[in-house]
Amino acid sequence: MSVAVLPKRPGSGGFGLAMALARATTRLLGGLDLVAPMSGQRALTASLVKHVGLAPRFGVEVALNVESSLAGVEVVEVPLPLDHCHTSRTLSGFSHRARQFADILRYLLLAGFGLAWPSLSKTSAAARTALTACVLVAVIALGALASPSAAGTIGLATAASVLLWLPVLWATAEWLHLRRPNYLGPNLPAAAGLLFPLIGLAAVWLFPLHSHLQAASVLTLSVFGALGLIDDLFGRASQARGLRGHLGALVKGRPTTGALKAFGGLAAGIGVGLLLDPGRPGLIAVDALLVALAANLLNLLDLRPGRALKGFGLLCLPSVIFSPNSLHLLGPLLAAAIVSAPSDLSGRSMMGDVGANVLGAAAGLALVASLAPTARIAAVLVLFAIHLLCERVSLTDLIARHAGLRFIDRAGTTHLAPFSLIEHGISR
């Protein structure tokens, strides 16, 4: 897609608010730094328009920038000696720019939260929004069964997650420069899961748990969050693969961030055991393994949109069933995960290791706090068996071979396929 950059006429335009929002939206959601993101003079093929769709009214140009980038299409700007009628600083001019600003903001909110984008039908967009709202209400209602304070905490966590979601995306993508290609190719904000430790730690601080559980929660969220963020910042996929690969690299004198994450997570798990089961060495070891293995499991799952979030939900089920009070710990994280889910499922952001690490470790901590010792041992054995299986076979290949797992894996994953595949007649 070619976008014309027209000469700037002195004295034209307003205060630059609409243009600033257009540039920020294009950069945040599409990873593009354009001089003229609102230029209506552009050349693109009809097939691309059909593939990415057209946003309504004045959001059309910004949406074309973002959606084309996500579809893997190159967007180039071309300076041209053209001119057109400029709006001035009059009442009609400000009204025009206000409508531009509102339409761009509407696109930013809907696409940024993964609820709607031009190529998605209105029915599907409404269904995604309604389902997200219903799941959030259900989690708050479950919290009310535990206690009114749990419901209040989850409600506040929901509101905070909505307010923090886009700022967290901006902070990770622009300030921390954590933008990585996903499995389909587009560069996305790659540590959106930073939202989870922020929400979890704030919830523990505002609504304290039992003293030992509170200390264990702070330890878990902060240590696993820091280890995950270090891996996102400095880790490379080429370092090693799997727990065995990281340990093998360490033995050969090549320490990796994955090995740091494994040993650091195990040490944090031991700390959890010392806080919750002091003086019981065997149970401390079980607690440490349960927390560390749960965290690593979600890291293994976080290879496709929504997969780690679904794993987190499944890991939370035993705790919620056997101990509804665990929602004091899990409820805020569940709320944050649900707010981020539409974006993750639509392939518009990635939670990164910081998100997967925190969610998995928190689910493991909840299992430690809610299950009897024998049930914890059984959970460790199940997680250990899954890890052994993942060392032998590809988890993605395993899911692809089983219809039930494949259905769960693809549920809710509606996203824009690369345009090159569509051009060659290859479906997603």
Confidence of residue 86 (pLDDT cuts 50, 70, 90): low
Q: What is the mean pLDDT of the chain?
A: 89
Q: What backbone phi and psi angles, to 5 degrees, belong to 61?
A: -70, -45
In our burial notation (b when 16+ CB lie closer than 10 A, e otherwise), range 28-40 reads bbbbbebebbbbe
3-state helix, strand, coil in the chain (%, to 5): 70, 5, 25
In the numeric block, the tokens 């068996």 are attached to 385
228-244: per-residue pLDDT in tens? Answer: 999 999 876 545 555 56
Question: pLDDT for 358-392, tens place per residue?
Answer: 999 999 999 999 999 999 999 999 999 998 888 88
Dig out the tokens for 186 from the structure: 């587009």
For 379, list phi and psi in degrees, rounded to 5.
-65, -40
Overall residue count recorded for the chain in this entry: 428
Question: Token pair of 301, please?
Answer: 């799952």
pLDDT, tens digit (0-9, with 9 covering 90-100), for 180-211: 998 888 889 999 999 999 999 999 988 877 77
Q: What is the spatial distance between Cα 19 and Cα 1, in angstroms, rounded to a whole number?
A: 20
The answer to whether 148 and 131 are in contact (CB under 8 A) is no
**Under a CB-based contact definition with an 8 Å cutoff, are residues 190 and 326 in contact?**
no
Distances (CA, A) of 397 to 43, 192, 335, 405, 427: 40, 26, 31, 11, 19
pLDDT above 80 (res 89): no
Q: Determine the Cα–Cα distance for residues 387 and 383; give it in Å rounded to an integer.
A: 6
Report d(CA 389, CA 399) in Å as an integer.
Answer: 12
